[in-house]
Structure 1
Amino acid sequence: MRKIALTAVSLFLVVFVGDSFSQSFVEGRVWGIWEREHSPYILLDDIHIPPDSTLRIMPGVEIIAAGHFAIYVDSAASLKALGTETDSIIFTASYTSLGHLGIRFMKSAPGCSLAYWRIEYGRANLTTYLDLSSKGGAIFCYFADPFITNCNLTNNSAMDGGGIYCYFSNPVILRNEITNNETYDGGGIFIFWSNPVVKDNIIANNRASYNGGGIYCNSSSPVIENNRIIGNAPFYYGGGIFCANSSLTIKNNIIKGNSSCLGAGIFLTQNSNATIANNLIYGNVSYCRGSGITCERSNPIVINNTICDNSAEIVGGGICFSGRSKPVLVNNILYNNRASSGNEIYLSYSESEGIASQCSLFVAYCAVDPTECGADNNAGIILWRNGNINMPPMFADSLYHLSPASPCIDAGVDSFFIPETEQTISAPETDLEQNPRPLGSAVDIGAFEFAPTFIQNAKQEVEPKTRLYAYPNPFNSSLKITLTIPETEQEPVAVYIFNLKGEKVFELSSSSGEWQPENNPGSGVYLVQAKIGNKRFVTKVVYAK
Structure 2
Amino acid sequence: MENIKLTNASNTGDSYSAISTTTTDLELNNVVIENCYGDVGSAIKCRDGIYKFNNVVLSDNLGGKAIRISCLTYSTNPILQINMENVLISNNYPGQGIGAGSGGGANIRGHHEIAGDYYLKMINCDFNSNHNNFYDGSTGLGGSSGLFLSNDLTADIVNCTFADNTLSYNTGCVITAMGADINIYNSILFDNDGYSFIIWNEEEVNISHSLIENGDSNVFYYSTGAINWMEGNLDEDPLWLNSGEYPYYLQSTSPCIDAGTLELPPGIELPEYDIAGNPRIYGETIDMGAYEWQGVEAEEDEIIPITQTKISNYPNPFNPSTTIKLDLAESGKIELVIYNIKGQKVKTLMDAYSTKGHFEIIWRGVDDNKRSVASGNYYIKLKVNGKERTVSKCVLLK
TM-score, with length taken from structure 1: 0.44
Distance in 1 of aligned mates of 2:2 and 2:284 = 41
**SS of the residue 1:294 aligns to:** strand
Question: Over aligned residue pairs, what C-alpha RMSD do you find?
Answer: 3.1
Checking the alignment, whether the CA contact within 8 Å between 1:303 and 1:331 is kept in structure 2 is yes
What is the one-letter code of the residue matched to 2:301? T
Q: Aligned to 2:107, which of 242, 245, 248? A: 242
Q: Aligned to 1:268, which of 137, 141, 149? A: 149
Deviation at 1:200, TM superposition (A): 2.3
Distance in 1 of aligned mates of 2:150 and 2:92 = 19
Deviation readout 1:109-166 (Å, 9 max, x if unpaired): xxxxxxxxxxxxxxxxxxxxxxxxxxxxxxxxxxxxxx35313242321421211111
Deviation at 1:179, TM superposition (A): 2.5
* 1:403 corresponds to: 251
Alpha carbons of 1:250 and 1:437: their partners in 2 closer, same or farther (altered >3 Å)? closer
- Superposed, 1:517-536 pairs within 5 Å as none
Could you list the runs of 5+ residues in structure 1 that have no partner in the other structure? 1-146, 351-357, 365-385, 417-422, 453-468, 471-480, 488-545
Distance in 1 of aligned mates of 2:87 and 2:184 = 17
Distance in 2 of aligned mates of 1:182 and 1:217 = 17
Checking the alignment, whether the CA contact within 8 Å between 1:412 and 1:445 is kept in structure 2 is yes
Distance in 2 of aligned mates of 1:388 and 1:227 = 24
Say whether 1:451 aligns with 2:294. yes
Distance in 2 of aligned mates of 1:397 and 1:391 = 16
- Superposed, 1:294-373 pairs within 5 Å as 294-312=176-194, 316=195, 318-335=196-213, 345-350=218-223, 358-364=224-230
What is the one-letter code of the residue matched to 2:148? F
Checking the alignment, whether the CA contact within 8 Å between 1:278 and 1:428 is kept in structure 2 is no
Alpha carbons of 1:217 and 1:394: their partners in 2 closer, same or farther (altered >3 Å)? same
Deviation at 1:189, TM superposition (A): 0.7
Checking the alignment, whether the CA contact within 8 Å between 1:331 and 1:444 is kept in structure 2 is no
* 1:224 corresponds to: 84
Checking the alignment, whether the CA contact within 8 Å between 1:270 and 1:297 is kept in structure 2 is yes
* 2:9 corresponds to: 155
Checking the alignment, whether the CA contact within 8 Å between 1:439 and 1:451 is kept in structure 2 is yes
Alpha carbons of 1:237 and 1:279: their partners in 2 closer, same or farther (altered >3 Å)? farther
Deviation readout 1:7-54 (Å, 9 max, x if unpaired): xxxxxxxxxxxxxxxxxxxxxxxxxxxxxxxxxxxxxxxxxxxxxxxx
Deviation at 1:434, TM superposition (A): 5.0
Distance in 2 of aligned mates of 1:327 and 1:307 = 15
Deviation readout 1:217-247 (Å, 9 max, x if unpaired): 1022222332221222346666110111141
Larger radius of gyration: 1
Distance in 2 of aligned mates of 1:424 and 1:249 = 11
Say whether 1:183 aligns with 2:55. no
Deviation at 1:446, TM superposition (A): 3.3
Checking the alignment, whether the CA contact within 8 Å between 1:268 and 1:296 is kept in structure 2 is yes
Could you list the runs of 5+ residues in structure 2 that have no partner in the other structure? 72-79, 95-99, 111-117, 135-142, 305-398
Deviation at 1:268, TM superposition (A): 0.8
- Superposed, 1:107-146 pairs within 5 Å as none
Alpha carbons of 1:277 and 1:486: their partners in 2 closer, same or farther (altered >3 Å)? closer
Distance in 1 of aligned mates of 2:269 and 2:233 = 15
- Superposed, 1:434-449 pairs within 5 Å as 435-436=278-279, 438-449=281-292
* 1:252 corresponds to: 124
Alpha carbons of 1:483 and 1:448: their partners in 2 closer, same or farther (altered >3 Å)? farther
Alpha carbons of 1:444 and 1:148: their partners in 2 closer, same or farther (altered >3 Å)? closer
Checking the alignment, whether the CA contact within 8 Å between 1:238 and 1:265 is kept in structure 2 is no
Deviation readout 1:81-103 (Å, 9 max, x if unpaired): xxxxxxxxxxxxxxxxxxxxxxx
Identity %: 22
Checking the alignment, whether the CA contact within 8 Å between 1:156 and 1:180 is kept in structure 2 is no
- Superposed, 1:79-98 pairs within 5 Å as none
What is the one-letter code of the residue matched to 1:349? Y
Q: Aligned to 1:200, which of 22, 34, 55? A: 55
Checking the alignment, whether the CA contact within 8 Å between 2:88 and 2:125 is kept in structure 1 is yes
Distance in 2 of aligned mates of 1:291 and 1:283 = 12
Alpha carbons of 1:165 and 1:362: their partners in 2 closer, same or farther (altered >3 Å)? same
Checking the alignment, whether the CA contact within 8 Å between 2:27 and 2:51 is kept in structure 1 is yes
What is the one-letter code of the residue matched to 1:157? N
Distance in 2 of aligned mates of 1:205 and 1:401 = 21
Distance in 2 of aligned mates of 1:254 and 1:435 = 15
Distance in 2 of aligned mates of 1:483 and 1:299 = 50
Deviation readout 1:285-328 (Å, 9 max, x if unpaired): 1325453222111111212222221102xxx1x23322111111
**SS of the residue 1:247 aligns to:** strand
Distance in 1 of aligned mates of 2:2 and 2:283 = 38
Q: Which has the higher contact order (CA 8 A, sep 6+)?
A: 2
Distance in 2 of aligned mates of 1:175 and 1:232 = 19
What is the one-letter code of the residue matched to 1:300? I
Alpha carbons of 1:436 and 1:176: their partners in 2 closer, same or farther (altered >3 Å)? closer
